[in-house]
A and B are shown apart, each in its own frame.
Chain A
Amino acid sequence: MALLEAIGIGKTYPGGVVANDGVNLVIQPGEVHAVVGENGAGKSTLMKILFGLEQPNAGTLLLDGKPVQFPGPRDAIDAGIGMVFQHFSLVPSFAVYENVVMGSEPKAGIRFDRRKAIGEVQALSEKFRLKVDPLPPVRSLPVGQQQRVEILKSLYRNARILILDEPTAVLAPQEVQELFIAIRSLVAQGKTVIFIAHKLPEVLEISDTITVMRQGKTVGQVKTSEVTEQSLAAMMVGREVSLRVDRKATDQSRRVAAVSGLRIVNARGTEVVAGLDLNVHSGEIVGLVGVEGNGQAETLEAIAGLRSIAAGDIRITERDAAGLSVLERRGLGLASIPEDRIAEGLATGASVGENLVATRLDDPRFVRNGLLDLKAIKANAVKLIEQFSIRVGGPASAVGTLSGGNMQKVVVARELAEQPKLLLVNQPTRGVDLGATQFIWRTITDARDAGAAVLLSSADLSELLALSDRLVVLYRGKIVAAFVNSPDLTPETLGTYMLGLSTQTAAEMQVALK
């Protein structure tokens, strides 16, 4: 009998996003079961439902053959399900053992029996090969060890099933191996592990069974021993109809952006971009392909001036960008459409008109002697609303009242209004309805046709294939493949490189790397 089963799970978020649609999952006791799929496939939602963080709109969950419901994480924990998130919930200044036992501390009267807690944590850590010193504060530990603390938390509460959400995303290669040793030992001692991932080599190494998800549905369940990397990649990425947007022939001779030897280190000290060389020319769209978290976002931020770099050279219109502020780079003709429009691209409490000029407050057309030219700002807003078909009450309406697609149009309108020379775009149509998507694609292509150099990052392969002239694949902060876009280029091919299964040689890349 299956240990845990999900039958026909459906979940639609308010706003209309269908995250899960008839999802089935069968977990046998004592196995390592991987759930794979691209971003947006619905894996995280499914796991949240299993852990009681979200409630399904349809379907049933069976535990030991009996139907169960988890109104909250506490219920899931009590039922023996533990979850280790990508973002840990650990109190930074508390010791390891304090974090592990918090909420279920061993007591002697009213006293917190620390010695007993330390002993128990030590025993657990040895039993499951999760070596970690119980005493130091958690913030002083490297990420791999912090993850072990998270796992120990679940084990301390006698979890039978451990859900690990993208556990290797934050680990260095040696740490990954240590994690695998721990997982094998967990299984050997009767635990069951659900492992969410999209790094295929690792999935193939550690799991017994794999369930593949795509676009909110389960594509299938296979035994690891019976599957190859290629077939897995095909299942994950799918055979989509490739739409391509019509574009004009353009003069691509002028190099507008040049990145060489780029190295970026993030706040935790991990190298997220490890030596990147890239050129973008006028009149072309270069697509940055890759699973999220492989350096695309950081690269775009570095070029925009929002992130400092550890090493390397960035040139915008042949001028060295080092030391130039965001505003100065915009003065050189840079525009950027950010990944998260609400957090970074808009001030939702301000009006549409104000948002549309926020990046151009040093432009004498709108600001003279420190005074705002309200008429010009309004006229600009009216013009852009018309031009970009933004559905809104008027230039004075607050941006927060717009739909996702129209909000994105405001961002796009603002960035494209000035005929930028270099356009950086990150996830332009995430959470945007189909109509607005088509419109935004057309707008970006029109900018390219007019001579802009566009650097596009997206998690949506069909978008990249539709828009790009050239595609560059990033894996672990390096370019591992480069292609000139053609009808023969399929998502599966890209998938192979995206998932780290192969790398092109320098010669192969040269063709597309201009």
Chain B
Amino acid sequence: MSNVPAIDRASRWKAIRSEVGRAAGALLIALGVAFVVVLLTSKTPFEALNVLLTQIPQRPRTIGLWLDDAAKLTITGLAFSLVFQARQFSMGVQGQVYVGAIAATYVALSPLGATWAGIPLGMTAGMMAGAVWGFIPGIAKAKLGANEIVSSLMLNYIAIELCNYLVRAQLPKPAVGVLTTNDFPETAVLPQLIKFDGLNITRLDYGFVIALVAVFVVWFALYRTSWGLKLRLVGHNARFAEYSGIKATFIMVSAMTAAGALGGLLGSMFVQGQGWGKLTVLFEGNLAFEGILVAIVARSRPLAVPVVALFYGYLRQGAQLMNIRTDVPAEVIGVVTAIIILLVSSSFSINFIKRLFKRGDAPATGTVPAGSAAK
């Protein structure tokens, strides 16, 4: 069978094409809806759209913001991808970000923070805290069958309140009444990535590199280790996994814990990054949940996550820019995000829409991805 590899490649290419087609279709529809909204509410709709779509690459500063956003979106996208690949619905990334940030803050503001160990220790502390926060819903589900959606959501709010409290009342702050901590020492903050004469991009820090490393690590773990294979098998068919002797419960818990570590890492990236350099309340701005979009559009594939994160980050920053320069608020991006999630997570495809409107009863099949596509 000498042409076996060629057929493999062909079918995989076909799968990628159909997935990209779906994502592109969803994006177009979402942008279309957003455009209608903008058209109806803005005095300068076309200029707004122009800013949204084309202005980001014009200046180093906006490029920096875009790439920084993309890096953060990548991490949360990876976290959700891990969890989705195991067919679990732990929604706790936001909480993991906050506890990770808290842990990193404690390290950064401690004597250790002023040494060379400030960054690595801070990140490690963040990852450990996030891992614990991810472990809790996991073990509750494994041992007690407790719904991980509810428990992870509750933990989100507990983490946020904890952060609010610590910032307000416990951590050292520059002045009374402000809701931030002291600035972290320079050794505890990720340095700028690109800073030479002529090209000074603030806000983009080594978090970008960390995101790339994380992509590689998650990809490697999922596709090159036996743990990853077990995780994917459990996600595909938990019964078959049991039958093969794989301990499904252990895999589920470890998936949620690993995702938690990623969330915690993101938290430390936030507070130890050029964007903040300290801990404040509500620093995350609901970015964690946008990881859902990234994960779904990327079909939970680690290598596709950064690509989607780049595209989505572009739109996100474009919306911010549009907000500054025109009269359209950035929040219109929420409409785009929601529509994309709704479309991509359903059996959306051109065929499906046609069938939906032909008969009253819609069959539950969309494009069946040939090749090794995971759901």
Contacts and interface: CB of A to CB of B under 8 A. Distances in A.
Interface of A: 306, 325-327, 330, 338, 343-351, 354, 358-359, 361-362, 367, 370-372, 374, 382, 385-386, 393-398, 401
Interface residues of B, number: 36
Given A367-B226, A371-B225, A395 B8 contact: yes
Contacts of A358: 229, 233, 240-241, 244, 246
Contacts of A338: 243
B17 interface: no
A394 B245 contact: no
B245 A349 contact: no
Given A306-B243, A374-B224, A347 B237 contact: yes
Contacts of B223: 372
B144 interface: no
A74 to B, nearest CB: 15
Interface stretch (B175-183, B304-312, B366-374): B366-374
Contacts of B237: 343, 346-349
Nearest to A346: B240
A370 B244 CA distance: 17
Nearest to B233: A347
Among B8, B224, B235, B241, chain A packs the most CB atoms within 10 A around the CB of B8
A361 B230 contact: yes
A401 to B, nearest CB: 6
A182 B4 CA distance: 63
Contacts of A395: 4, 8
B1 A385 contact: yes
Contacts of B42: none
Interface in B1-52: 1, 4-5, 7-8, 10-12
Nearest to B12: A396
B236 A348 contact: yes
A345 B243 contact: yes
B370 A398 contact: yes
B7 A394 contact: yes
A344 B243 contact: yes
Nearest to A396: B8
Contacts of B243: 306, 326, 338, 344-345
A344 B240 contact: yes
B232 interface: yes
Contact of B245 (A359, A371, A372, A397): A359
B230 to A, nearest CB: 7
Nearest to A347: B236
A371 B226 contact: yes
Given A347-B236, A348-B236, A397-B371, 13 more contacts: A325-B245, A347-B232, A349-B237, A349-B374, A358-B233, A359-B244, A361-B226, A361-B245, A371-B226, A382-B1, A394-B4, A394-B7, A396-B8
A344 B224 contact: no
Nearest to A306: B243
The 6 closest A-B CB pairs, nearest first, are A327-B245, A394-B8, A347-B236, A393-B7, A349-B236, A394-B4
B325 interface: no
Q: Which of A330, A343, A344, A347 has the most chain B CB within a 10 Å cutoff?
A: A347
B98 to A, nearest CB: 31
Contact of A372 (B1, B226, B241, B244): B226
A374 B226 CA distance: 10
A330 B8 contact: no
27 contacts: A306-B242, A325-B245, A326-B245, A330-B245, A338-B243, A343-B237, A343-B240, A344-B243, A347-B236, A347-B237, A348-B237, A349-B235, A359-B244, A361-B226, A361-B230, A361-B244, A367-B226, A371-B224, A382-B1, A385-B1, A393-B7, A393-B8, A393-B10, A396-B12, A398-B370, A401-B11, A401-B370
Nearest to B8: A394
A346 B373 CA distance: 16
Q: Give the dominant DSSP class at A's interface.
A: mixed
Contacts, number: 105
A350 B12 contact: no
B355 interface: no
A386 B4 CA distance: 11
Contacts of B240: 343-347, 358
Interface string B302-340: 000000000000000000000000000000000000000
Interface in B154-211: none
A347 B241 contact: yes
A338 B224 CA distance: 28
Given A370-B225, A396-B372, A386 B1 contact: yes
Contacts of A325: 245
Nearest to A414: B244
B8 A326 contact: no
Interface in B231-257: 232-233, 235-237, 239-246
Most buried by B among A327, A361, A367, A382: A361
A35 B374 CA distance: 45
B229 A361 contact: yes
A395 B235 CA distance: 20
B239 A397 contact: no
Nearest to B10: A393
Nearest to B5: A394
B373 A382 contact: no
B276 interface: no
Contacts of A347: 232-233, 236-237, 240-241
Nearest to A336: B243
A345 B375 CA distance: 19
Contact of B225 (A327, A362, A372, A385): A372
B219 interface: no
A334 to B, nearest CB: 10
A371 B242 CA distance: 21
Nearest to B238: A347
A350 B232 contact: yes
A283 to B, nearest CB: 26
A397 B242 CA distance: 23
B227 interface: yes
Nearest to B228: A372
B4 A393 contact: yes
A359 B226 CA distance: 11
A350 B245 contact: no
Interface centre among B223, B225, B236 (most CB of A within 10 A): B236
A351 B11 CA distance: 12
B229 A326 contact: no
A394 B244 CA distance: 22
B229 A354 contact: yes
Nearest to A301: B243
Contacts of B244: 326, 358-359, 361
Contacts of A382: 1, 4
